[in-house]
A and B are shown apart, each in its own frame.
Chain A
Amino acid sequence: MKKTARIIFLLISLIASRANAANTFSASAASGTGAVMGDPAVVIPFVITNGAGSTNDIKTLFFNIPTTNYNISAATAAPTACAVAWNVQNPASCLLPGCIEFQRVSGGGLAPGASCTFDIVLTGVGGALIPAASMDATDALANTSIVASKNATSTQSANFTLTGSPPSWPRNALAATMTAVPDSVGTGDAISVSMGVTNRSSAAQSGVIASPDPPARTYTGGANATQSGAAIYGSTTATTNPAPAALSNSLTASMTIVQAASTAGFPASGRLLIDAELVDYTGKTATAFTGCARAAGGTTAAGHFAGALIYSQNTSSFTLASGESSTITWLFNAAAAGTVYFTSSATNVTATSKNVNSNIAAIGAFTAQLSMTPLSLVSGQNVTVTMTAANNGTTALTNVTPTLGALGTAMLTPASGPTPSSIADIAPGASGAFQWTYAVTGTPGQTYSFTGYAASGASNTNTAASATGTLVQYGVAVSPSTVATGAAGGAFTWTVSNRGGADIKTVAITIPPPLTSACGVTKGWGYSSNTPPANWTATTTGAPVTSVTFNSNTPYATNGIPVGGSKSFTITFNCVPAVTSDAAYNFAAAVTDTANAATTINSYITVTAYQLTIAAYDEDCAGVAPASKTADGASAYCLKASLSAGGIPVSGKAIDFAITSGAGMLDVASTVTDSSGSAAVKLTAPCSTAGVNTMVRATLSGSPGLYGDLGSSLVFTGVSGGSLQYLSGSFKKTDGTSPDISTGYAGGFILNVRNCGNGALTLNAANTTLTDRVGNGFTLASGATLNAGASAQLSFIGAVSAGPSNCAPTLTADAGAGYTGAFSYYKSPAGNSISASDTLIVDSGAYCPEVVKVLDWRELR
């Protein structure tokens, strides 16, 4: 009997032992995962796999993160892409910042053999930055750090055994970002790839280089980019490398003296890189490189415009002090059409950065880029898609039309666009933008993205692709989402949308480090005030303030955020952080509904290293802007926006211009910065008999928070008398068709003009003529009197006997004392600009030669 009982006990023990031994799981940090010292946070995707031989599902997981280096952020959310739904528990036995518990929502859990990825958001201790060490470090969990249970419980009962090594991940000492500009180039043009490197470790790092050098290139569509010269290393406190200098005078292909704004820091002799050409020099003055041998290193001698950057090829790897940043730059020649992005990292063996990718650059005479905002929204909201078509060729592109396709698992319903439906004319070097809005519907986790191209006749752009957006249960969008480095603060508004199952009663927004309450030399997020919605209150935590919690007054059904609704919450800052490269700060928004279910949604504000200013000049873009101009519809100011990053001009970026008050006409709404980081537009006066004060804002395209305003309004004084304007696009044959004719044509032409003044203008055959650029003259068929503000169509008759040509004709009029001056159609003002349809084409002649006006001519004796 005793023996039998012993056997039964052993059998039960064996069975129990086998059952427990069978429940195993493995855990690892996803490949490529890693933290970077000094980052505000890191997301570690832990892949949890229930052992294939397990006999139970995993229904509860506890992550116990050692708080020596990290805290678990409240932004950590339950996984949404796994076979079963999970939520976050907040039991007393497992609380932030050291522990977080995930429980399956209902039914079974993570089945044997199945995997699920849990994204754990980690910050430094106490919400500080990820801690620094003297070199790269590796962080690892203990065997007991992750506790898996077969029960839905808040007790950390380890029913599963961890097999294999516990998860570990690197903590990089160097941070890197990479940018390729411009993001749209023609074949043969240069692409500048710049990697910003910051030493986030606690010790100096010497001999920092790029790996690979040059960056790896990933192509689509047959693209090719070849490197020009060698890597150009920036200067640091301990390493003196010459900063690039601007070419002070345009350089022809044969010149042997290269004039620079300054040659300071360049060696006495060496090699220069200008655009894609290498130049060897044997001497230098303060402002010139002398004894230049052009086309060095197998490159080709070429002309270079003033303002082009001159890089020294005699640079070396640099030493970065703790916290110090510098850049490594490469120039590539866009050799073949397609798209390309670049990949590299920074390293000195013991301190490394992650591999970083640049943005995608499109190469070709005719390219397209797609952007989309926002990248996460709730079902029913709209996404805005922008396609930028660029003409990098040498001839104008006409009738440019876009094509857009929707991708993803969410339902996309067109709401508007494309706007415009087509662009009549994109000049060489210019670009045009099309915009669509789509309503996105579906369930949380579903995705949306777009692909598209533009066409002009038989020419198509590359097929561009947008980023991929995701539908979420609660939408949190912050505006503006981009702000310039060290900006003087401002108001940021978070719009929270509810597509969950209950009303939202609380929204808590966490302010990430660096924090400050002083906004002095050291910049950070300097909280100032908050503005809750009506019937909500707000409380703050910490000094400096680390979070703002907005609470709805009761009843929540009336005052909270209802299902399907949204409300806006504003926090105002006195200053924002100063950065040397773009940095995204996560303002995690914790949303709590009336069922006390809490969800945290990340919202990011990017502080960009870019700085944007705008200034006014006279119409020639060189002279000082006059104190005022006449509001005659023709006078114009030139407005120049200057974009820089860390004091270095940034080329190839689209700058949007908009009139924020007053009136006037901008010749283009958007233009791209040149090699000096400058983008210019013309603001043409409005027609007004009263004075007009106009304010213009320049904005980095796609970054509404990065803008510059004029220091003061531009003044237009009221016009007196008559002032004639040509109405763009109205020049036609008499039958209303395009003015494309053959020699001998005598059918006449029509065009529309407007009197932009306060006095009447009388036009007749004696005072108004139309001539083309090769000598054909046309007579005004019938006179017209234009009262102030009135428009009229003028008809001209005459034969075209000379040709061929392809020029804008010249309309001259002198309507007497009330008329403000001779009018030239050819010189019609910006905003009234002549498009391709305004050109008189005779026998398909070559484009009109440039006109030169002789100012002085005399014989010298």
Chain B
Amino acid sequence: MDGRKGMTGARRLKAGNASGASVIAVIFILAVITFFGVVFSSFLSTGVEESVSEAGSERALYIAEAGVETAIGRLKMTPVSTNWLWNDGYLNKAVGMGTVTVEVLQHEDRSGSLVGPRCESFTSSIEAAGAFPARTVYAALTWDPTVNLNNLDMNLYGDGTCAAQITGLSKTIIYDPAGASRRAVFLRYRIPDAAPAVVTYSAKVLNNTAGTAYKLGISHPDDTAFNSSSKRAVISTGHVNDANREVFAAFGRP
């Protein structure tokens, strides 16, 4: 009898225990499901945000490229002899779902192969007029690392003789993916707004010990001798919400 009772109690107990385990299991499963739901929900939310941001960035790039094309179209209007001198630029010009800001520069090809160091001087006129007056110096030093084995370098100077180096500027060095050797150096400098009417800077190419060919393009505000035969460059920045992409293009009249 006690045994039955005991058995009954045990069964009851077993039955009661089994019921509690199920509840726990259910709760556990629900918790797991909830956890993964939250996690998946979180993952899903992040993916949408990233897609929105990526689309805006792509649009900004397209707008920046459109800005380049628009500026080229403006520069080659007839008669090109006068329109090629246009350097007003654009400031937040509406393009599609965003805006574009374009800075119009003079471009000079200073490529060479002389044994360094090589000092390249250039002059810029600082103008106040225009939607977005030019204030940028952008120098791009590139070379074929399979031909020119030197790790070239380049610095910018605040005079015409490569004497007073400018240190507060953006300098980007591109390395060869296969190793630690360099293949390009880019300098970008914003000329102070308080600069005098005409400024002279210089860029020095270093380390070309073998005297091998390199390409050097220097873009800067127009010098006093700029004419319709000179080369142009633009820096176009596309803006879409908080996405900004920049494109540089240099071009000339053949």
Q: How far is the CA of A849 from the CA of B172 in the complex (A)?
A: 37
Tell me if A217 is interfacial: C-beta within 8 Å of chain B. Answer: no
* 9-residue interface stretch from B5-13, B35-43, B222-230: B222-230
* Contacting pair A853 B226 (CB below 8 A): no
Question: Which residues in chain B, 225-239, are within 8 Å of chain A measured between CB atoms?
Answer: 225-227, 229, 231, 233, 235
Most buried by B among A252, A285, A394, A852: A852
Q: How far is the CA of A858 from the CA of B222 in the complex (A)?
A: 21
Question: Which residues in chain A, 837-860, are within 8 Å of chain B measured between CB atoms?
Answer: 847, 849-860
* Contacting pair B252 A306 (CB below 8 A): no
* 9-residue interface stretch from B22-30, B80-88, B91-99, B150-158: B80-88
Q: How far is the CA of A306 from the CA of B56 in the complex (A)?
A: 42
Tell me if A554 is interfacial: C-beta within 8 Å of chain B. Answer: no
* Contacting pair A850 B250 (CB below 8 A): no
Residues of B within 8 A of A851 (CB): 76, 253-254
Residues of A within 8 A of B80 (CB): 850
A282 CB, min distance to chain B CBs, angstroms: 14
* Contacting pair A306 B226 (CB below 8 A): yes
* Contacting pair A852 B75 (CB below 8 A): yes
Given A259-B224, A306-B225, verify A252-B235 contact (CB < 8 Å).
Answer: no
* Contacting pair A306 B224 (CB below 8 A): yes
* Contacting pair A852 B217 (CB below 8 A): no
* 9-residue interface stretch from B46-54, B112-120, B121-129, B160-168: B121-129
Given A248-B224, A256-B129, A847-B78, verify A853-B197 contact (CB < 8 Å).
Answer: no
Residues of B within 8 A of A305 (CB): 82, 85
* 9-residue interface stretch from B175-183, B200-208, B240-248: B240-248
Tell me if A404 is interfacial: C-beta within 8 Å of chain B. Answer: no
Q: How far is the CA of A854 from the CA of B235 in the complex (A)?
A: 14
Question: Which residues in chain A, 259-311, are within 8 Å of chain B measured between CB atoms?
Answer: 259, 285, 287-288, 303, 305-306
Given A257-B127, A849-B76, A856-B249, verify A249-B254 contact (CB < 8 Å).
Answer: no
* Contacting pair A250 B85 (CB below 8 A): yes
Residue in chain A with minimal CB distance to B109 = A855
Tell me if B107 is interfacial: C-beta within 8 Å of chain A. Answer: yes
Residue in chain A with minimal CB distance to B76 = A850
B233 CB, min distance to chain A CBs, angstroms: 8
Residue in chain B with minimal CB distance to A254 = B129
Given A252-B86, A252-B88, A252-B129, verify A853-B254 contact (CB < 8 Å).
Answer: yes
Residues of B within 8 A of A139 (CB): none
Contact of A250 among B198, B226, B231 (CB under 8 A): B226
Q: How far is the CA of A620 from the CA of B231 in the complex (A)?
A: 12
Q: How many residues of chain B have a CB within 8 Å of chain A?
A: 47
Residues of A within 8 A of B127 (CB): 249, 255, 257
**How many CB-defined contacts (below 8 Å) exist between A and B?**
115
Given A622-B225, A851-B253, A855-B250, verify A257-B128 contact (CB < 8 Å).
Answer: yes
- The A interface is mostly helix, strand or loop, or mixed, namely loop
Residue in chain A with minimal CB distance to B68 = A857
Given A252-B88, A620-B229, A622-B229, verify A859-B245 contact (CB < 8 Å).
Answer: yes
Residues of B within 8 A of A257 (CB): 127-129, 197
Residues of B within 8 A of A285 (CB): 196-197
* Contacting pair B198 A259 (CB below 8 A): yes
B73 CB, min distance to chain A CBs, angstroms: 9
Most buried by A among B80, B129, B233: B129
B247 CB, min distance to chain A CBs, angstroms: 5
* Contacting pair B78 A850 (CB below 8 A): yes
Tell me if B130 is interfacial: C-beta within 8 Å of chain A. Answer: yes
Most buried by A among B75, B222, B224, B229: B224
Q: How far is the CA of A842 from the CA of B222 in the complex (A)?
A: 38
Q: How far is the CA of A859 from the CA of B60 in the complex (A)?
A: 12
Tell me if A43 is interfacial: C-beta within 8 Å of chain B. Answer: no
Residues of A within 8 A of B217 (CB): 855-856
Q: How far is the CA of A620 from the CA of B108 in the complex (A)?
A: 13
B209 CB, min distance to chain A CBs, angstroms: 26
Residue in chain A with minimal CB distance to B196 = A285
Tell me if A697 is interfacial: C-beta within 8 Å of chain B. Answer: no
Q: How far is the CA of A740 from the CA of B21 in the complex (A)?
A: 95
Residues of B within 8 A of A854 (CB): 249-251
Question: Which residues in chain A, 233-255, are within 8 Å of chain B measured between CB atoms?
Answer: 248-250, 252, 254-255
Residues of B within 8 A of A248 (CB): 125, 224
* Contacting pair B225 A853 (CB below 8 A): no
Question: Which residues in chain A, 770-796, are within 8 Å of chain B measured between CB atoms?
Answer: none
Tell me if B134 is interfacial: C-beta within 8 Å of chain A. Answer: no
* Contacting pair B125 A259 (CB below 8 A): yes
Tell me if A567 is interfacial: C-beta within 8 Å of chain B. Answer: no
Residue in chain A with minimal CB distance to B84 = A850
* Contacting pair B197 A259 (CB below 8 A): yes
Q: How far is the CA of A859 from the CA of B174 in the complex (A)?
A: 14
Most buried by A among B79, B85, B88, B233: B85
Q: How far is the CA of A855 from the CA of B246 in the complex (A)?
A: 17
Contact of A857 among B86, B245, B247 (CB under 8 A): B247
Residues of A within 8 A of B137 (CB): none
Residue in chain B with minimal CB distance to A257 = B128
User: What mask results when residues 642 to 682 of chain A are scored 1 for a CB within 8 Å of chain B, else 0?
Assistant: 00000000000000000000000000000000000000000
* Contacting pair A287 B76 (CB below 8 A): no
Residue in chain B with minimal CB distance to A848 = B78
Can you list 15 contacts pairing A with B, beta carbon distance less than 8 Å? Answer: A285-B196, A287-B198, A303-B82, A303-B85, A306-B226, A394-B79, A850-B77, A850-B253, A851-B253, A853-B252, A855-B109, A856-B140, A856-B249, A857-B68, A858-B248
The 5 closest A-B pairs by CB, nearest first: A850-B76, A860-B246, A255-B129, A856-B250, A288-B197
Q: Give the interface of B toward A (CB within 8 A).
A: 61, 64, 68, 72, 75-80, 82, 85-86, 88, 107, 109, 125, 127-130, 140, 172, 188, 196-198, 217, 222, 224-227, 229, 231, 233, 235, 245-254
**Seed contacts A303-B82, A621-B229, A849-B78; 12 additional CB < 8 Å A-B pairs:** A248-B125, A254-B129, A254-B130, A255-B129, A849-B76, A850-B76, A852-B76, A852-B252, A856-B249, A858-B247, A860-B248, A861-B172
Q: Give the interface of A toward B (CB within 8 A).
A: 248-250, 252, 254-257, 259, 285, 287-288, 303, 305-306, 394, 620-622, 827, 847, 849-861
